[in-house]
Amino acid sequence: MEKFDSVPEIFASCVFNEDVMRERLPKDVYTSLMNTIATGKEIDAGIADVVAGAMKDWAIDHGATHFTHWFQPLTGVTAEKHDAFLSPVGGGKVIMEFSGKELIRGEPDASSFPSGGLRATFEARGYTAWDPASYAFIKDGSLYIPTAFCSYGGEALDTKTPLLRSMDAISKAGLRIIRLFGDDTAKRVVSTVGAEQEYFLIDEDDYKARRDLYYCGRTLFGAPPVKGQELEDHYFGALPTRVSAFMKELDVELWRLGISAKTKHNEAAPSQHELAPIFCTTNIAVDQNLLTMECMRKLAPKFGMACLLAEKPFEGINGSGKHNNWSLSTDTGKNLLKPGKNPGENKQFLLFLAAVIRAVDEYQDLLRISAATASNDCRLGGHEAPPAIISIFLGEELEALVHSLIDGSHYAKRDTKYMSLGTPSVPTIRKDNTDRNRTSPFAFTGNKFEFRMVGSGQNIALANIVLNTAVAESLTIFADILEETVDFDRTLDKILSDTLRCHSRILFSGNSYSPEWEAEAEARGLSNFKSSPDAYAHFTDEKNIELFGKFGVMSETEMRSRREIFFGSYRKIKNIEARTMLEMTLRDIIPAVSKYIGELSTAVNATRSAVKSASLSCECDIIEKLSDALAKAYDAYGALERAERSAISKPSDEEAAFFYKNTVIPKMDNLRRVVDEMETLTSREAWPMPTYGDIIFKI
């Protein structure tokens, strides 16, 4: 790791941020660009060449030779194509050049990115367009320019475009509300996000020794180890040396990129860890989370490790999520979801709170979809992850307040409580007004909401697109009424009590992991989409098309294309998983077990000829059990293979996705059960891959 003197010195040293712009741009250009960034208004075309020139000079000063438009196609990962700044000047010489045109617009061939039917085969053109609000940065000798990506016809082919549109929607709606409460200075309302990232680190040799890990990012076989996480000794435990070295270097790399990596610790499962940055504006938070994941993946091998970002790399062991902390604030830094000392009197806060509660209740399905991926299905609904049912936890104090608003009863403000630990040597500490609820998928945590359903490997854009747009709708409805009323206070109180009464079914403070909640949620009419395909099917429900259309976030065409892509990705992932299982079974597991049976049988015969009276009951018993299991495994293999063949022949991705869910996955589960049983009967030496016990306790 490179030496450095202080964190402030290296922080954002690879970022073309406000400080650099102030230093390197003419004053009027700087002011104009800052205005675009702060207000989201269109960029003044005249300044692009100047900005590009300054960016290039700065990038070259920092060792860059190339630039790339960096974008987020609907593949779930980022994309980049690098161009050198080179430009020929005759006489076989070159100069380094970068124009405003190249900064503002790129033209990658879009034909190999998912378009969900948006792109006819003859229309391969796609465009990338600069997002000036997310700073350019240097990585691996290239200047990275965050961009939005669209088709030749102008439809969004990425996650950033609708995200930026949703940020405009919430800003507009939010401004109308805060103006009503007398804020005339704020220019923009922004949604802020802090994404806590969970991940696993395992030994790279183990990763390479398992095809399921390197083809699919998660294990498809594996018997439970004798020791799991029951001792609860890993959570917040001391960091192993190798992990600590990795985290230190990761921090420095992220800091250079202007990512404020702040908190790091061991998570609940062995080999599981977490990193949390300081929150920032949504589009930057999304970009930075994608960069963080990439840096994690790329850095791990330097320490002889592999970083697993899949939601459930090991069955029976805690999975990884991404806690999407979300709030609203003004560009002047006022958090609009901060209850303050006396939330009962803070009507503006209550109105924003009601807006979120309404949004989450009305668009449960969209929020569920935003966390629906083939691999997150393996996590959601487990005993350590939120169920597939969306509900909101407000905490004791706010819940009592909400109920008083609904039924008009008196609400007594709670006093701040303090507690002493029974020894004068430890200072008295302030107690929060409410405990946490770790089982809730959507919990209020003081001045923000924490959406805990999103998967660790996912792009968090869609979750935030849904939140921003749905809350923008609530706020718009409220503003429409409040701007017209003659009796502001009475109308406001009525909006609060009506909204909260109408949507109180979404509030739940009990244990979301319990089976009783599932029954109660059903009685309350809450949706419960257990699998991704079940959820995807609702993406284009009339009310959802209307919501996104109304705010210009996604057109119906863009939504239909996304729906196609959801089903298509699900199908492809499940297809790869099924084929990986088949390959591992036939080419690794069956040969290994059969060879082991052969070895045992040879030993039995040899022993018998040496000692006529030898019992051999142990060896014979194992041989018998393994032979039985082998036959069952081969049957399960055949059943999976037939199902997989039918899946491939399904004409549409939607049909195939449901077929995988209903028919192929149960066959995969059957095969896995038998193989896992064989693992426990086969000698360690003979088993063809590292086991759970080998992997998760190694580092």
Q: Does residue number 287 form part of the binding site for ligand ADP (CB under 6 A)?
A: no
Task: Closer to ligand ADP by CB, 159 or 324: give it.
Answer: 324
Contacting range for ligand ADP; rule: CB under 6 A; set: 271-279, 313-321, 399-407, 505-513: 271-279
For 697, the 3-state DSSP assignment is coil
Q: What is the 3-state secondary structure (H, E, C) of 578-602?
A: HHHHHHHHHHHHHHHHHHHHHHHHH
Task: Closer to Mg ion by CB, 198 or 315: give it.
Answer: 198
Tell me which residues in 323-342 interact with Mg ion (CB under 5 A). 323
Task: Closer to ligand ADP by CB, 260 or 497: give it.
Answer: 260
The option from ligand ADP, Mg ion, none interacting with 448 (CB < 5 to 8 A, set by class) reads: ligand ADP
Rounded distance between C-alpha atoms, residue 166 and residue 174, angstroms:
12
Rounded distance between C-alpha atoms, residue 572 and residue 641, angstroms:
16
Return the number of other C-beta atoms located less than 10 Å from residue 86's C-beta. Answer: 11
The option from ligand ADP, Mg ion, none interacting with 194 (CB < 5 to 8 A, set by class) reads: ligand ADP
Contacting range for Mg ion; rule: CB under 5 A; set: 109-117, 319-327, 563-571, 578-586: 319-327
Determine the residue type at 252.
Answer: V
Contacting range for ligand ADP; rule: CB under 6 A; set: 321-329, 525-533, 581-589, 680-688: 321-329
What is the closest distance, in whole angstroms, from the C-beta atom of residue 356 to Mg ion in the complex?
A: 17
Which residue in the set 142, 151, 327, 458 belongs to the binding site for ligand ADP (CB under 6 A)? 327
Return the number of other C-beta atoms located less than 10 Å from residue 347's C-beta. Answer: 16
Q: Does residue number 267 form part of the binding site for ligand ADP (CB under 6 A)?
A: no
What is the closest distance, in whole angstroms, from the C-beta atom of residue 452 to Mg ion in the complex?
A: 7
Contacting range for Mg ion; rule: CB under 5 A; set: 85-93, 156-164, 322-330, 686-694: 322-330
Q: Does residue number 335 form part of the binding site for ligand ADP (CB under 6 A)?
A: yes
The option from Mg ion, ligand ADP, none interacting with 263 (CB < 5 to 8 A, set by class) reads: ligand ADP
Determine the residue type at 628.
Answer: D
The option from Mg ion, ligand ADP, none interacting with 447 (CB < 5 to 8 A, set by class) reads: ligand ADP
CB of 678 closer than 8 Å to CB of 593: yes
The contact mask relative to ligand ADP for 178-217 (x = CB under 6 A, - = no) is: --------------xxx-x---------------------
Q: Which residue is nearest to ligand ADP (CB)?
A: 194
- The radius of gyration of the chain from alpha carbons, rounded to an integer in Å, stands at 28
Rounded distance between C-alpha atoms, residue 91 and residue 488, angstroms:
75
What is the closest distance, in whole angstroms, from the C-beta atom of residue 336 to ligand ADP in the complex?
A: 9
Q: Two tokens at 472?
A: 């923008």
* Nearest one of 578, 660, 589, 601 to 629, comparing CA atoms: 589
* Nearest one of 287, 286, 299 to 253, comparing CA atoms: 299
CB of 307 closer than 8 Å to CB of 199: yes
Rounded distance between C-alpha atoms, residue 477 and residue 396, angstroms:
28
Task: Closer to ligand ADP by CB, 277 or 386: give it.
Answer: 277
Task: Closer to Mg ion by CB, 445 or 682: give it.
Answer: 445
Which residue in the set 218, 368, 448, 563 belongs to the binding site for ligand ADP (CB under 6 A)? 448
| φ, ψ at 379 (rounded to 5°) | -105, -45
Alpha helices, H only, 456-555:
461-484, 488-503, 515-523, 532-536, 542-550
Which residue in the set 279, 303, 444, 517 belongs to the binding site for ligand ADP (CB under 6 A)? 279
Tell me which residues in 178-217 interact with Mg ion (CB under 5 A). none
Which residue in the set 17, 447, 527, 575 belongs to the binding site for ligand ADP (CB under 6 A)? 447
Q: Does residue number 263 form part of the binding site for ligand ADP (CB under 6 A)?
A: yes
Which residue in the set 171, 271, 292, 325 belongs to the binding site for ligand ADP (CB under 6 A)? 325
| φ, ψ at 3 (rounded to 5°) | -80, 150
Q: Two tokens at 646?
A: 């039918």
In the numeric block, the tokens 């200075």 are attached to 185
| φ, ψ at 371 (rounded to 5°) | -115, 15
Rounded distance between C-alpha atoms, residue 102 and residue 83, angstroms:
10
The contact mask relative to Mg ion for 257-296 (x = CB under 5 A, - = no) is: ----------------------------------------
Q: Does residue number 448 form part of the binding site for Mg ion (CB under 5 A)?
A: no
Q: Does residue number 276 form part of the binding site for ligand ADP (CB under 6 A)?
A: yes
Cα dihedral 143, 131, 546, 120 sign:
negative
Task: Closer to ligand ADP by CB, 268 or 639: give it.
Answer: 268
Q: How far is CA 597 from the centre of its chain?
A: 45
Q: Two tokens at 239?
A: 């960091």
Return the number of other C-beta atoms located less than 10 Å from residue 93's C-beta. Answer: 7
Residues that bind ligand ADP (CB under 6 A): 192-194, 196, 263, 276-279, 325-327, 335, 445, 447-448, 450
Residues that bind Mg ion (CB under 5 A): 323
